Structure 1
Amino acid sequence: MSEQHFASGPSCCEPDLDHHLEAFLSGLTQAGYAENTRRGKARRIAPFIQWTHRSGIRLCEVNDLDACIDAFLASPGRRLYKHRSALQAFLAYLREAKVLPPRPMKRSTADALRHSYLEHLQSQQGLSAHSIAAYAVSVRGFIEAMHLPEEAADLDARAIQRYLLTLSPEHAVATVKVYAAGLRSFLRFCLLKGLISRDFSTALPCIGRCQPKPMPPILGDEDIERVLATVDRSSLRGCREFAVLQLLARLGLRASEVLALRLEDLHWEQGEMLVRGKGAQFDRLPLLQDVGDAIVQYLRVARGRSDSRHLFLSRKAPRIALQDPSTISAIAHRALERAGLLPSGRVGAHIFRYSLATRMLRHGASLSEIAEVLRHRCIATTQGYANVDLERLRDVAQAWPGVQEVVQ
């Protein structure tokens, strides 16, 4: 196979692929891959490098690397699946290291519009990755349904309202509110870019709640100990779960805040930790003894070595930071289920935050004290947590004139 079959890009200086293979394999070790996995990938990649040398192929000049891999795999004795996955991983590493040019991306006009909007949220609005991800979900379906940007001129207020109404039967009220906020933001972006000539963000109605928000289930002190006791702390998985549950139960952290914790956020000598909260808010909380002990055990026994500075990593290779807050909620869900305390409905990590606020109320803490622990900027937010303590409400409820029965 000659170089002419693949090369059509600009001339370049061919990198030392053998050197980059060693760096790639070293990265696998640091990411927590087993030695036999590392050796297997080396056995499959090294012949590919030798084949490119014999064929006179310069990878930096190849436009279609997939075709190059296909040509190599056409040789006899290749186990297609394992060879292809190893080679694709190696080429991805070379792109990330900027040894090879990035893979050309073919975006539709709709994808390009969505990508431009998300870049705007990050660079101009300064939104967090969590908020950007939520808005990305909000606008994806809208762009498809409205056939944007091609039919942007046909957009009107009624069409936007009808689209939002179609979401209502399928989603919870809180989810529809997030969708509406995302659509308002996107419509303002479209106005800014000149895709539309009117500000349709005002056409979206405010999403109200027809019924009072149901009070979440509450975990008492004994329930918390029961949940923690279900964790097998002798296992690697259990060490991580126990540390996560301690952060949720003792400090009331949000799932996203647990996910964002980094090694440098733990100030052991000062006995405090930095918490990266909502809206780029940074707070310091006391590093309680039982919380610190659980984290130390996780670091010593279960975390393992990694280049990542995030505290909590995936259990399997590649050992990278956990990517989704739902992972933290899943840990909470499993622990509640093991303890026999799983209530009906969708329950995640936030039940521990509500429960901490309620337990503080029952022990005589004021709303301002609870707001400080939960890091609420507005006391009105904390008042919602106060409504969950029925026992305290019964104590202060006034008898209704003419009615003899006590509050039930």
Structure 2
Amino acid sequence: MIHHYSQSPEALERWYAGPLGNHIDGFAKLLFDQGYATNTAQTKIRLVADLSRWLERKQLTVRDLDLDENRINEYLKFRANHLVPNRNDKPTFRALLKQLRNDGLIRSSPPAVEGGQIDRIENDYGRYLTQERGLTQSTLAKYLPIMRRFLIVRFGNSLISLEELSPDDITQFILHHAQACGRRHSQVMMTALRSFLHFVYQKGQTPTDLSTCVPTVANWSLSELPIFLKPEDIERLLQSCDKSSIIGQRDYAVLLLLARLGLRAGEVVHMVLEDIDWDAGELIIRGKSFRQDRLPLLQDVGEALATYLYQGRPRCSSRRVFIRNMAPHKGFSSSTAIGDIVRRAFKRAGLQRTHKGAHLLRHSLATQMLNKGSSLNEIGEILRHEQPHTTEIYAKVDWMALKSLAQPWPGEWNHE
């Protein structure tokens, strides 16, 4: 595979030198599979070859070099004394270590030690959330940073003594941080704190269950109107995609899934090729709490997916439907990428809205269905709401039904 990137005998001799020389072909194949451009791949291969020659000067072989993050950092410091550091150096070496570990050539990565005690607490709490509570990685991405910030604010660089936590610590943290965020984020913050404090109490690390001291954020049922787009604005978003380009084909398919089927951003991110049942004309949706549902594969959605898969999707080993266009070719890391696709479409379409997230299209679908005569039960089935009351908010935009419930103003008289 290395010959794909160079036929020069001099270059090949340099690349094969040192204890990593026998593994450079495997690394080159990894770069090829991930879709890196030739120039970028050559730069990464030269970097690994430089590391290999540095290890050779230290008289280390693959088996005894004990290559890990510490050894890489040692080499990067040496390299910085001779060359200008490049921001792509560390990602390159992370990929190399992962490949060597997968091949069983070096030991597995050690547990994270950066931050010491706080990392151990975070790892324990993360295992509890996934193994005992069954929460998804997207939920962990919300809870763990809040837990970490709480401990840093309370203990700083001092030794963390969970038994010293008090209700005042909780109050001070909430008063300081809740002012800078909206109601929704405040609710998540309270839930995460309550969960973490109950966890440490269960483990016997606090004498009392401080989770009961975390206040609740007012959340009056049906207190807000759902925000939505008009059908013509939805079409403007869809038509803003350049379907002659690879990115345009991908973004058009993503927007259709959001607008026609009401998928959540996370559901789009984690969709895999096996979720598309072309014969049955259905999509398998992997939703919240590991729930799986089936939705009909509408014609325009199916055509957009087929066009992207056959013409635009980069070749790679990932089974995800939607792939990063730039190397490394792999699935999106989070729902943020879907939100970015929606925001870029708003900008192209010239639509000015305060809310520009992916969930806006989900609300818009529900509102369109309601205006066309669908019942709340039917809307709840399409949106896959677990509880019927979740769908009730859309009753507030059913103008005709609400008008029929309006009563005459007391004292109103007939002028005729």
TMscore range, shorter length = 0.7 to 0.9
Please say if residues 332 and 349 of structure 1, whose CA atoms lie closer than 8 Å, have aligned partners that are also in contact.
yes
Residue 264 of structure 1: CA displacement?
Answer: 0.5
Contact 1:121 1:132 survives alignment (8 Å) = yes
Q: Supply the AA of the counterpart residue of 1:110.
A: I
The answer for the alignment partner of 2:382 in structure 1 is 373
In 1: Cα distance, 2:230 partner to 2:405 partner: 21
Residue pair 1:275, 1:284 contacting (<8 A) in 2 also: yes
Q: Give the superposition deviation at 1:51.
A: 5.2
What is the rounded CA distance, in whole Å, between the counterparts of 2:77 and 2:118 in structure 1? 34
What SS does structure 2 have at the residue aligned with 1:316? coil
Aligned to 2:364: 355
TM-score using structure 1 length: 0.87
**Counterpart code for 1:40:** T
Equivalent residue in structure 2 for 1:292, among 294, 297, 302? 302
Please, what is the CA RMSD of the aligned residues? 2.8
**TM-score (ref. length: structure 2):** 0.85
Alpha-carbon distance in structure 2 between the residues aligned to 1:68 and 1:314: 32
Percent of aligned positions with the same letter in both sequences?
36
Aligned partner letter, 2:357: G
1:181 aligns with 2:188: no
User: Is 2:262–2:365's contact at 8 Å kept on the other side of the alignment?
Assistant: yes
Aligned counterpart in structure 2 of residue 119 of structure 1, from 116, 127, 130: 127
Residues 303-348 of structure 1 show CA distances to partners (whole Å, capped at 9, x for unaligned) of 11111111111110001110121211121122223223332x2320
Change (3 A) 1:241 1:167: same
Flag the 1:404–1:168 CA change in 2: closer, same or farther, 3 A: farther
* Match status 1:134 vs 2:142: yes
Q: Using the alignment, how far apart are the partners of 1:395 and 1:226 within structure 2?
A: 33
Does the CA-based 8 Å contact 1:260-1:276 persist in structure 2?
Answer: yes
- For the residues of structure 2 that align with 1:179 and 1:68, how far apart are their CA atoms? 39
Q: Is the 8 A contact 2:122 2:148 kept in 1?
A: yes
Q: Tell me which amino acid in the other structure corresponds to 2:130.
A: Q
1:90 aligns with 2:99: no
Rounded to whole Å, the distance in 2 between the matches of 1:142 and 1:296 is: 47
Number of the residue aligned with 2:278: 268
Residues of 2 paired with 1:74 and 1:141: CA distance? 33
Among candidates 190, 200, 215, match of residue 190 of structure 1: 200
Aligned equivalents of 2:148, 2:50: Cα separation in 1 = 43
Q: CA deviation at 1:365?
A: 0.7
Deviations 1:45-99 (A, max 9, x none): 33543554465212443454136625974998x6764995555643453245442
Unaligned runs of 5+ in 1: 1-14
CA distance in 2, matches of 1:303, 1:297: 9
Does the Cα contact within 8 Å between 1:218 and 1:358 map onto a contact in 2? yes
Q: Does 1:235 align with 2:245?
A: yes
> CA distance change for structure 1 residues 293 and 388 in 2, over 3 Å: closer, same or farther?
same
Q: 2:43 aligns with which of 40, 44, 48?
A: 40
Alignment partner of 1:160 is 2:163: no
Tell whether the 8 Å contact from 2:19 to 2:52 is kept in structure 1 after alignment. Answer: no
Verify: 1:101 aligned to 2:107, yes or no.
yes
Q: Do the aligned partners of residues 88 and 351 (structure 1) sit closer, same or farther apart at CA in structure 2, a change above 3 Å counting?
A: closer
SS at structure 2 position matched to 1:61? coil
* 2:149 paired with 1:146: no
What CA distance in whole angstroms lies between the structure 1 residues aligned with 2:88 and 2:284? 44
Residue 312 (structure 2) pairs with residue 309 (structure 1): no
Name the SS for the 1:387 alignment partner. helix
CA distance in 1, matches of 2:221, 2:127: 37
Mapped to 2, the partners of 1:205 and 1:72 lie a distance apart of 52
The count of corresponding residues between Structure 1 and Structure 2 is 389
Which segment is superposed worse, 118-127 or 209-218?
Answer: 209-218
For residues 45 and 209 of structure 1, do their structure 2 counterparts lie closer, same or farther at Cα, with a shift above 3 Å needed?
closer
C-alpha distance after superposition, 1:337-364 (max 9, x if no partner): 3223332x23201111111111111111
Which of 153-162 and 223-232 deviates more?
153-162
Query: Which of residues 386, 398, 403 in structure 1 aligns to 2:395?
Result: 386
1:206 aligns with 2:200: no
Tell me, in whole angstroms, the C-alpha distance in 2 between the residues paired with 1:369 and 1:341: 30
Shift of 1:374: 0.5
Letter in 2 for 1:207: V
Cα deviation, residue 273, structure 1: 0.7
Change in CA separation of 1:19 and 1:398 when aligned onto 2, cut-off 3 Å? farther
Match of 1:10 in 2: none
Counterpart residue identity of residue 259, structure 2: A
After TM superposition, give the deviation of residue 223 of structure 1 in Å: 2.2
Q: 1:224 to 1:98 in 2, by over 3 A?
A: same
CA 286–56 in structure 1, closer or farther in 2 if over 3 Å, else same: same
